[in-house]
Amino acid sequence: MDKPKRRNTETDPWSGLKMYTAARIALGRTGTSVPLKESFAFKMAHAHARDAVYSSLNLEVLLQGLHAFNLPVHVLHSMASDRMEYLQRPDLGRMLNQASSEQLKEEGSSSTEIAFVLADGLSATAVNEHAIPLLQLLVPALRQAGFTLAPLTVAEQARVAIADEIGELLHAKLSIIMIGERPGLSSPDSLGVYFTYAPKPGLTDEARNCISNIRPEGLPYSLAAEKILYLIQEAMRKKLTGVKLKDGIGLLQG
């Protein structure tokens, strides 16, 4: 009688999938637990995510990069006075404080088409690392396409909806906020870009479009810029953003 074949417990059937994802799969095991190395790696990733939440905008580097576009630049602040209040009171992060609001009113900008906002969100690290490289692709493309740009703004302790107020104060047809997304254990530096046509305070998420996970390990800058340019053109053509505006760029290329 043939002996039953012994199952190979050394090979994890998930191992071949590791090259396609940064998710924690095929970690191996020691007894009934994951290996010590993987346990430490998990704690390190968790620490990076927590650090990202409490990170700050590197204003010196950001302003240096923004001034290269030859546009006025304003540094603004939400109504959240510090990071702790920002985390505990999301509503305050959606509104400019009085000084920032007055600063934009004094700008006296005439009607423009696009207002870019850089905001820390839940990962200033993402903005510090990815916002300027993305703008370096976008701004020349938008100017070549004939779009007019409002003064650039950087908002601290800010949430997505703060761009609605900023866009309205700058008389822009479209506000675009580049903001740090909630960090994950494999992506503490993910940048999100949100679009709002006819921005004004009080709009909800259904009025916006979003492109997320912009970073070299996620959605590369070049592809993100291509998608953003397409959505800008469609938003201006249809005079809307949100659930009625779809990203059909893949269909156009197919």
| Tens-digit pLDDT profile for residues 165-221 | 999 999 999 999 999 998 766 678 999 999 999 999 999 999 999 999 999 989 999
Using DSSP, state whether 90 is helix, strand or coil.
helix
Angle between helices 124-144 and 36-53 (to 10 degrees): 60
Q: What is the mean pLDDT of residues 33-46?
A: 65
Say if pTM beats, i.e. exceeds, 0.85.
no
Under a CB-based contact definition with an 8 Å cutoff, are residues 118 and 163 in contact? no
Full strand arrangement of the beta sheet holding 152-156: 73-77, 152-156, 112-119, 172-180, 191-197, 208-214
Predicted pLDDT of residue 111: 82
d(CA 67, CA 87): 30
Predicted pLDDT of residue 214: 96
- Encoded tokens for 98: 């009085």
* Strand partners of residue 175: 115, 196
Is 114 buried (19+), middle (13-18) or exposed (0-12) by CB count in 10 A?
buried
pLDDT digits (tens, 9 = 90+) for 220-244: 999 999 999 999 999 999 999 998 8
Which pLDDT band, with edges at 50, 70 and 90, does 254 fall under?
A: very low
- pLDDT beyond 80 at 51: no
- Report the run of H or E that residue 144 belongs to, with start and end: helix 124-144
- pLDDT beyond 80 at 22: no
Predicted pLDDT of residue 73: 96
38 is in an annotated binding site: no
Predicted pLDDT of residue 1: 53
What domains can be seen in the chain, in order of their start residue?
A: 53-243 (3.40.50.11240)
Question: Which one-letter DSSP state was computed for residue 182?
Answer: P
210 is in an annotated binding site: yes
181 is in an annotated binding site: yes
